[in-house]
Structure 1
């Protein structure tokens, strides 16, 4: 009978009085232990990460589309017919003749009646910069 301890006392023969090292409350006056709502925290985290990754993906997709458009314009201009060496910084105009052949010219679209494809400027990297013209040329 002497060995019997009250119910609210934490005692074992092996560990003794060990209430201070237990991971749970052992007395009436101990603070309430609440389990954190980790599921909603994870859900919010996943939503935030998915939004961020989705935005990054859309940004990369737009950059890729712009890069492909630049590539297509440069491919078109470099494959066009011209018999002069283009000067860096000058503005040139791309046309299509009656046979469907593309050619590059210094003559502006207002100065003659040819099918104007686009206006370009050659930069120092030898890349043709599209300035204006038929924006829907590659969509068709």
Structure 2
């Protein structure tokens, strides 16, 4: 049981790392603030963009290829996915 817990924690850390790398390579048109919620999208050219606008606020498909995740910037400057 403890091994399963450690494996789950390792998977969560790996996912946070991958998400953080995507975001730090993404287009940002603002300075993210610790504790705030943002939305990560993949653009049609394969790059990523962090946005203040949620998927349901675009009024349609929006200008992106796909929505990746809703995220929050943590105090250690890594990102956590916010699950609804």
Contact 2:42 2:48 in 1 (8 A): yes
> Counterpart of 1:119 in 2: which secondary structure?
strand
Structure 2, unaligned stretches of length 5 or more?
Answer: none
Residue number among 121, 124, 127 corresponding to 2:75 in the alignment? 124
The alignment's TM-score, normalised by the length of structure 1, stands at 0.51
Residue aligning to 2:13 = 67
Higher strand proportion (structure 1 or 2): 2
Larger RCO: 1 or 2 (CA < 8 Å, sep 6+): 2
The number of aligned residues is 79
Counterparts of 1:63 and 1:86 in 2: how far apart (Å)? 26
The alignment's C-alpha RMSD in Å is 1.7
- Higher Cα Rg, which structure: 1
Shift of 1:76: 1.3
Structure 1, unaligned stretches of length 5 or more?
Answer: 1-54, 134-140
| Map 1:35-114 → 2, pairs under 5 A | 55-112=1-58, 113=62, 114=64
